[in-house]
């Protein structure tokens, strides 16, 4: 009987567990291809351009703000202008380039906050170390007949991941971005991005499940303990009555008469 009651309690308390999924719609995203020159921006402003995106590759569009899309490129989050990219109906297998460059300046190569020598120096790129190339931009030509091309890259400076610009004159290995030939039907209509804020305030399914279990399990234990003593008490009383009845029972021996 106790097991039956316990199972009924579990069935009563657990129906809410399957309904812990986030109620908000899945965020819609789109891949957009760079068919002509397009820049990647740090904010929804034309003055915040970081670098030029390589032609034929993609950015992942995750939202919109005025004339800009919020976008992801490699591991960077930023913005692209709506009129500089072409949204497509498909998922590319290689949306981003995989290019590196190497610094061959044995004195180290400065990583600048802007593509100019007068900007803040964030650190140095190590000699013969390879770095991921995100994109290129034009900047200061440090000396005559050199180049005005700078590489936007990431380096670990004093244990901190740091983005900045390297003067390409002292870099090798990179010979240009290879072409990405993936192509999908173009999306000509307005893109629909769903809300990115879940109705549960941002709690994940795992957190919700833990909360429900943390509340349910103590209730089960308490109810189990409340039901258990009643059976023990009945059993104890039966034993007492049995002992009392035993005392009232006498067996006569003929030798005692």
The torsion of the CA quartet 101, 102, 108, 109, rounded to 10 degrees, works out to -20
Query: What mean pLDDT comes out for the span 239-254?
Result: 50
pLDDT digits (tens, 9 = 90+) for 217-234: 665 666 566 666 555 545
User: CB-based burial of residue 124 (10 Å sphere; 0-12 exposed, 13-18 middle, 19+ buried)?
Assistant: middle
DSSP 18-74: GG-S--SPPPP-EEEE--S-EEEESSSSGGGEEEEEPTT-EEEEEEEETTEEEEEET
> For 192-213, what is each residue's pLDDT tens digit?
887 543 334 444 455 455 555 5
pTM, two decimal places: 0.66
Where residue 2 falls among pLDDT bands split at 50, 70, 90? Answer: low
Q: Average pLDDT in the 167-188 region?
A: 96
* Percent of the chain residues past pLDDT 90, beyond the cut: 61
By percentage, how much of the chain surpasses pLDDT 70? 65
What pLDDT does 167 receive? Answer: 98
């Amino acid at each position: 009987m106790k097991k039956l009651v316990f199972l009924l309690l579990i069935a009563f308390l657990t129906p809410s567990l399957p309904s812990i999924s986030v109620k908000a719609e899945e965020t819609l995203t789109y891949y957009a291809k760079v068919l002509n020159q397009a820049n990647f921006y740090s904010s929804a402003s034309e003055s915040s351009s970081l670098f030029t995106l390589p032609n034929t590759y993609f950015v992942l569009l995750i939202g919109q703000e005025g004339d800009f899309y919020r976008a992801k490129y490699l591991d960077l989050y930023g913005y692209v202008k709506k009129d500089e990219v072409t949204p497509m109906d498909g998922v590319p297998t290689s949306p981003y380039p995989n290019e590196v460059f190497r610094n061959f300046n044995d004195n180290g190569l400065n990583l600048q906050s802007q593509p100019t020598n007068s900007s803040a120096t964030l650190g140095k790129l190590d000699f013969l170390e390879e770095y991921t190339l995100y994109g290129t931009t034009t900047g200061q030509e440090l000396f005559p007949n050199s180049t005005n091309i700078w590489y936007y890259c990431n380096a670990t400076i004093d244990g901190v991941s740091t983005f900045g610009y390297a003067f390409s004159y002292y870099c090798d290995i990179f010979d240009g971005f290879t072409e990405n030939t993936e192509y999908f039907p173009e999306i000509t209509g307005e893109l629909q991005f769903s809300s990115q804020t879940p109705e549960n305030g941002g709690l994940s399914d795992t957190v919700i499940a833990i909360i429900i279990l943390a509340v349910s399990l103590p209730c089960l234990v308490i109810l189990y303990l409340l039901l258990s003593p009643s059976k023990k008490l009945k059993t104890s009383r039966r034993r007492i009555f049995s002992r009392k009845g035993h005392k009232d029972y006498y067996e006569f021996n003929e030798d005692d008469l």
